[in-house]
């Protein structure tokens, strides 16, 4: 039976890939986005599908969706440091009010809701790798606190709705994800490194580059999220690739894949930048039968290729094109 799924942040990097895969699986999709970080261009290729609808909406304000809703994927939020440091109030508001409104929709419709939380709830971890049972080491008043605490609050609110109102909810904690449709200026390491390498500019690595991340290709992430949607587990469940590498290694890898002569240079490390990051994915394996399958080198090659094509391709969509997509 065809489901009708609401995806908040549906025109964003992750949201657009979720919309695409849901449609491929035969579901109907209503994508909601206010385009503060998302782009209608991310879902332009879906606009002729009669099962897809894109609506301009700020979920931080009360909203509803007419007709049946079987599932809600709450993915609306700035997610990169550049964005949430530029929009701190908006980030906190979508994590609080936006989550409340998404949960109210799920409650009204009797739908399952999956919340996109983040590995940032672990802060600069003192336990490595990070299992879901770890409470984290977060600085609530640091510059990253607006994002970390928004997600921590969203998790608590989601669990409260499950316990107090019986809403069918699940929480996924997403670790560093990459792939096509990332904005080249979004401030995260991989798009930064790729953009710089393709332009022949110095590739700027924070600190001495010894800090680590575990990076996951977007197709694997989408598969994990949709398995969580189809499950009944409340979470939280880590979704990420345990393959851990240093930022210097990642930069060197991207320079090589891009066949670039860019030198690697080092810049000041941001405040509260985590030293290590690696998911413990045993729970996802046991409950969801999920493990990442895409090799990191192949995924980086595809991602570099996509960025190269974009750099050589058409300009971003105009406001008129966005309006045309929204109005069908």
With H, G, I as helix, E, B as strand and everything else as coil, classify residue 302.
Answer: helix
Nearest in space to 113 (alpha carbons), one of 154, 58, 61: 154
Q: 248: how many CB neighbours lie within 10 A of its CB?
A: 19
Cα torsion at 235, 240, 244, 249 (round to 10°)? Answer: -140
Q: How many C-beta atoms lie closer than 10 Å to residue 315's C-beta?
A: 5
Q: Nearest 10 degrees: CA dihedral of 263, 206, 131, 214?
A: -20
The question of whether 147 is a catalytic residue gets the answer yes
Determine which one of 84, 147, 161, 217 is catalytic: 147
Identify the bridge partners of residue 267 per DSSP, sorted by sequence position. Answer: 206
Residues 6+ apart with CB under 8 A from 18: 7, 10, 73, 75, 222, 225, 226
Cβ atoms of 12 and 31 closer than 8 Å: no
Place of tokens 């509260």: 272
Residues marked active site are found at: 147
């Amino acid at each position: 039976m065809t489901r009708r799924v609401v995806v908040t942040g549906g025109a964003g990097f992750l949201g657009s890939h979720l919309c695409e895969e849901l449609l491929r699986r035969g579901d109907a999709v209503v994508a909601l986005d206010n385009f503060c970080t998302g782009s209608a261009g991310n879902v332009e290729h879906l606009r002729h599908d009669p099962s897809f609808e894109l609506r301009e909406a700020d979920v931080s304000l009360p909203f509803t969706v007419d007709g049946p809703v079987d599932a809600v994927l709450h993915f609306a939020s700035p997610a990169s440091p550049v964005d949430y440091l530029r929009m701190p109030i908006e980030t906190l508001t979508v994590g609080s009010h936006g989550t409340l409104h998404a949960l109210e929709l799920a409650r009204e419709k009797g739908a399952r809701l999956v919340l996109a939380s983040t590995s940032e709830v672990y802060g600069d971890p003192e336990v490595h790798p990070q299992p879901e049972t770890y409470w984290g080491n977060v600085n609530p008043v640091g510059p990253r606190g607006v994002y970390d605490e928004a997600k921590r609050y969203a998790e608590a609110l989601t669990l409260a709705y499950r316990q107090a109102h019986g809403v069918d909810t699940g929480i996924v904690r997403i670790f560093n994800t990459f792939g096509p449709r990332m904005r080249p200026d979004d401030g995260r390491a991989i798009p930064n490194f790729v953009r710089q390498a393709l332009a022949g500019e110095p590739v700027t690595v924070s600190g001495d580059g010894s800090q680590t991340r575990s990076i996951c290709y977007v197709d694997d992430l989408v598969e994990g999220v949709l398995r969580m949607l189809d499950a009944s587990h409340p979470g939280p469940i880590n979704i990420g690739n345990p393959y851990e590498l240093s930022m210097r290694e990642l930069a060197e890898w991207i320079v090589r894949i891009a066949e670039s002569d860019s030198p690697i240079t080092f810049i000041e490390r941001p405040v509260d930048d985590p030293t290590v990051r690696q998911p413990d994915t045993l729970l996802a394996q046991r409950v969801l039968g999920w493990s990442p399958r895409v090799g990191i080198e192949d995924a980086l090659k595809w991602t570099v290729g996509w960025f190269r094509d974009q750099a050589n391709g058409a300009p971003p969509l105009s406001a008129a094109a966005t309006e045309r997509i929204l109005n069908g």
